[in-house]
């Protein structure tokens, strides 16, 4: 996990512009480099480094002797870089996983380069020999990248939008800041004055397709057919492989553990594989909540079962409320459920950075979208509707759950790893017949749960634990974080303000005092940028106007355990 920043065709004072790059310094606390491009003095790169894989030669922009005309800054991890080097007889000059992008680009061009990468990434690749610039982002947008462009060919790029909001340019009209689309690359022509012109934007991978890099995977060909036992075996195989390939690190690995199904499966598999790989330390797991919260109690049970070094972070509503403004600054969104769920993740990440030596953090993001885990899937009108909704959620992960997971960990210089968003695992699961993936016997994610039945990987009570949103499960069932927020913000926004909410905020008008407050904070930090959120995350097929699972008519509280 790093922070990348670049300018092309800059007409303003570089020493002033570069201060914007320091707004994402939290993403790479180990080192910073700012470098002009030879021959294009109005083009430059900025890089904040979190050293995880190659701690000696991993600094960027990356350039090697074989390709002196190529400049690369990228944020991410390429899990198959060694397999690619072996398959195509590349001769790497560093031990870093990013160098393989240069060799692939030189051999195959940009589209195949991107398609062969098994990992999470955002890249900016400059070819001064062909006067070309390329930017791209992984399939689900696990690693962020934003762009600011003007009509006269000025382009600025940054891992987070906040690194672009104070960029100055010569055009009289304001420049928009937009995310680079996940699963796409964009090609630009580079002019002699450093300005650029967009040539094409193309998708290199769709989440429903088997990824091209599967041909380089060490995993053997999976058995075909859709009989239940074959499918469950394939899910287990792909999931374990997804966790295993993500062990690539020279820094200590830890895992977030809420006590729900997804994080528990990740943590248990991680502990198992760490022992098999003989990692020289015990896996640390981290949970957050009040003393009697469902999440704390469940996570404690899982940690004892799998034998992790477990840490519990005490959470109070007061501490959470105090963190909201910082959380919105890092998130760059005012989406209600994203902000709510981010507070706990932000605070547990802060604890990890300050109180432990874990830097690479595994988490269970993506499982609910992939395996139809949200409670509202029980109300889907048909298996086809469920499958279509699941695919929509996967394509919007970069706006919601993946955004939350990246920003809250990156805020504290941690690197996130999300095995449920492995390309091969997701492509396989999404290819299954619609009726196999729907909730069964009143239980969501039934296929995933059933795939790990009778293995004793995690306690049965956890394997079949009902879905509980992270923001809901952090506190007692008697009074959730959701309720605490409503009560506190009741006095922060008056009724007159709510009556005029749609006039004050015509785009995505807030419908609750909580939403109004989040929007106010966002507008103070990022004025005029409300379009960054195209729409709120809300459940479908229900009348609920709030994203909390506890507001759904069919929600039943989980009994508190002793």
363 is in an annotated binding site: yes
Q: What is the DSSP string of 448-514?
A: HHHHTTTS-SS-HHHHTPPP--HHHHTS-TTS-HHHHHHHHHHTTS-HHHHHTHHHH--SS---SHH
Biggest distance spanned by C-alpha atoms of the chain: 70
- DSSP helix/strand/coil, 27: helix
Q: Write out the two tokens for 272.
A: 């198992």
What residues pair up with 55 in beta bridges, in sequence order? none
30: phi > 0 → left, psi -120 to 50 → alpha, else beta; which?
alpha
60 to each of 63, 270, 413, 476, 486, how far by Cα in Å? 8, 30, 17, 46, 45
97 is in an annotated binding site: yes
124 to each of 74, 121, 136, 155, 357, how far by Cα in Å? 6, 10, 7, 12, 30
Catalytic residue flag (residue 206)? no
Question: CA-CA distance, 409 to 414, in Å (whole number)?
Answer: 5
Question: Taking a C-beta distance cutoff of 8 angstroms, is the pair 342, 331 a contact?
Answer: yes
What residues pair up with 504 in beta bridges, in sequence order? none
Helix, strand, coil percent values for the chain (each to nearest 5): 40, 20, 40
Question: CA-CA distance, 103 to 319, in Å (whole number)?
Answer: 48
In the sheet that holds 62-64, the strands lie side by side as 62-64, 67-78, 119-127, 132-137, 184-190, 196-203
462: Cα separation from own chain's centroid: 25
What residues pair up with 74 in beta bridges, in sequence order? 123
Q: What is the 3-state secondary structure (H, E, C) of 467-479?
A: CCCHHHHCCCCCC
Question: CA-CA distance, 133 to 139, in Å (whole number)?
Answer: 20
What DSSP designation does 147 have? E
**Which candidate in 2, 43, 158, 255 is catalytic?**
2
Location of structure tokens 């997971």? 405
Strand 146-149 to 132-137 pairing:
unpaired
Q: Write out the two tokens for 267.
A: 């943590």
185 to each of 113, 124, 145, 293, how far by Cα in Å? 10, 10, 11, 44
Give which of 370, 496, 361 is closest to 422, Cα–Cα: 370
Question: CA-CA distance, 219 to 238, in Å (whole number)?
Answer: 8
Catalytic residue numbers read: 2
In the annotated binding site for ATP, the residues are 256, 288, 363-364
In the annotated binding site, the residues are 97, 256, 288, 363-364
């Amino acid at each position: 996990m790093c922070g990348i920043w670049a300018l092309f065709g800059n007409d303003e004072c570089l020493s002033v512009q570069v201060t914007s790059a320091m707004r994402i310094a939290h993403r790479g606390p180990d080192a910073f480099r700012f470098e002009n491009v030879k021959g294009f003095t109005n083009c430059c790169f900025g890089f904040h480094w979190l050293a995880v894989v190659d701690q000696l030669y991993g600094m960027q922009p990356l350039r090697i002797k074989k390709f002196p005309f190529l400049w690369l800054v990228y944020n991410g991890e390429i899990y198959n870089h060694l397999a690619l080097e072996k398959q195509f007889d590349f001769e790497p000059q560093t031990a870093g996983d990013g160098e393989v992008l240069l060799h692939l680009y030189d051999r195959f061009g940009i589209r195949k380069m991107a398609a062969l990468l098994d990992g999470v990434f955002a890249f900016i690749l400059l070819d001064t020999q062909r006067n070309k610039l390329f930017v791209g982002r992984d399939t689900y947008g696990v690693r962020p990248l934003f762009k600011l462009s003007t009509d006269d060919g000025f382009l600025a790029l940054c891992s987070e939008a906040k690194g672009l909001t104070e960029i100055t340019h010569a055009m009289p009209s304001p420049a928009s800041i937009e995310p680079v689309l996940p699963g796409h690359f964009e090609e630009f022509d580079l002019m002699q004055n450093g300005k650029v012109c967009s040539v094409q934007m193309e998708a290199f991978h769709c989440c429903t397709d088997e990824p091209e890099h599967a041909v380089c995977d060490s995993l053997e060909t999976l058995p075909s057919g859709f009989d239940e036992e074959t499918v469950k075996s394939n899910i287990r195989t792909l999931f374990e492989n997804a966790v295993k390939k993500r062990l690539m690190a020279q820094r200590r690995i830890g895992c977030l553990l809420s006590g729900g199904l997804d994080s528990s499966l990740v943590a248990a598999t991680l502990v198992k594989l760490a022992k098999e790989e003989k990692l020289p330390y015990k896996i640390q797991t981290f949970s957050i909540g009040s003393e009697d919260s469902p999440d704390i109690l469940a996570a404690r049970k899982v940690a004892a079962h799998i034998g992790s070094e477990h840490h519990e972070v005490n959470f109070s509503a007061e501490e959470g409320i105090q963190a909201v403004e910082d959380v919105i600054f890092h998130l760059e969104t005012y989406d209600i459920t994203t902000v709510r769920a981010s507070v706990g993740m932000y605070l547990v990440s802060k604890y990890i950075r300050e109180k432990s030596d874990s830097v690479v953090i595994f988490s269970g993001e993506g499982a609910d979208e992939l395996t139809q885990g949200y409670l509202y899937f029980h109300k889907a009108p048909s298996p086809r509707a469920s499958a279509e909704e699941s695919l929509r959620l996967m394509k919007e992960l970069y706006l919601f759950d993946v955004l939350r997971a990246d920003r809250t960990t990156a805020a504290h210089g941690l690197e996130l790893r999300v095995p449920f968003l492995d390309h091969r695992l997701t492509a396989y699961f999404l290819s299954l017949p619609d009726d196999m993936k729907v909730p069964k016997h009143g239980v969501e994610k039934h296929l995933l749960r059933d795939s790990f039945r009778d293995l004793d990987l995690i306690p049965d009570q956890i394997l079949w634990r009902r879905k509980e949103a992270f923001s809901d499960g952090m506190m007692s069932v008697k009074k959730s974080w959701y309720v605490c927020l409503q009560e506190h913000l009741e006095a922060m926004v008056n009724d007159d303000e709510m009556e005029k909410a749609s006039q004050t905020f015509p785009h995505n008008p807030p419908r609750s005092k909580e939403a109004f407050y989040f929007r106010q904070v966002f507008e103070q930090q990022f004025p005029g940028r409300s379009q960054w959120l195209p729409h709120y995350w809300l459940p479908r097929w229900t009348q609920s106007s709030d994203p909390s699972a506890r507001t759904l008519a069919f929600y039943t509280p989980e009994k508190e355990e002793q």
